[in-house]
Amino acid sequence: MGIVEKMRLDGKAGFVTGAARGIGKRTATAFAEAGADVAIVDMDIEEAKKTAAELAEATGRKVIAIQTDVTVEEQVQAMVDQVVAELGGLNFCHANAGICINAPASEMTYAQWLKVINVNLNSVFLTDTIAGKYMMAHGGGSIINTASMSAHIVNVPQPQCAYNASKAGVIQLTKSLAVEWAKCGVRVNSISPGYIATELISASEFLKPLIERWNAYSPVGRMGTPEELMSICVYLAGDTSSFTTGSDFIIDGAFTCF
């Protein structure tokens, strides 16, 4: 069997949070195209159902939609239980749900700070530990967390201290879990995208004017696309990455290199 065949995910099942659109939708697409059955997990259940139907028709895989508030422990547990029941197991997951509030620290309310930390960091802890406990009891698995290049740099000119701090926390959580679970067969890695041209950015009146400035800073002169994150996630979800754990993969067009 060649390396391309070995990278396929046939017979595997997993879920992606924040998967109704954007990065999560693309990685869920990649998993299904590689042969896995996938759950589209999102608060927006109508959009999640639409995405699930699209992927099921395009790939022939079993793709389901589950409405979940990933900041609520009981809902995350119920979601994992449903994935196992309907897809027959859990071999990988991508904790991708996240938000950003652009506000100067001197003006940001504590409620805003908590909201970002809760969605971006606390939910990753819930998702990883609940999925990880199942994986440890069933032969192992792979967990992928979405961090950000904002964990490595302070973005300018937009003020986003809570987002930056939360994503730095994701990386350290990833490394900590990877060390704790290495002997249990559960691998934990993160991806740190740079500026990615998602629907979220294109719809933001605050961020759209900044794109030209970001592109001017970037060595490659452009933003990335969600599709450019798909292959690394398939690699991390599959068996060819069996020696890869505790790593953070920066995909930013060299933006953080200077």
Active site residues per annotation: 148, 163, 167
Residue 97: exposure state from Cβ atoms within 10 A (0-12, 13-18, ≥19): buried
Q: What is the C-alpha to C-alpha distance for residues 98 and 4, in angstroms, rounded to an integer?
A: 31
Q: 73-87 and 123-137 are packed helices; what angle lies between their axes, rounded to 10 degrees? A: 40
Q: What is the C-alpha to C-alpha distance for residues 76 and 157, in angstroms, rounded to an integer?
A: 35
Q: What is the C-alpha to C-alpha distance for residues 33 and 215, in angstroms, rounded to an integer?
A: 31
Cβ count near 77 (within 10 Å): 16
Helix (H, G, I), strand (E, B) or coil at 66: strand
From edge to edge, which strands make up the β-sheet containing 248-251? Answer: 63-67, 37-42, 13-17, 92-95, 141-146, 186-193, 248-251
Tokens of 166: 């939360």
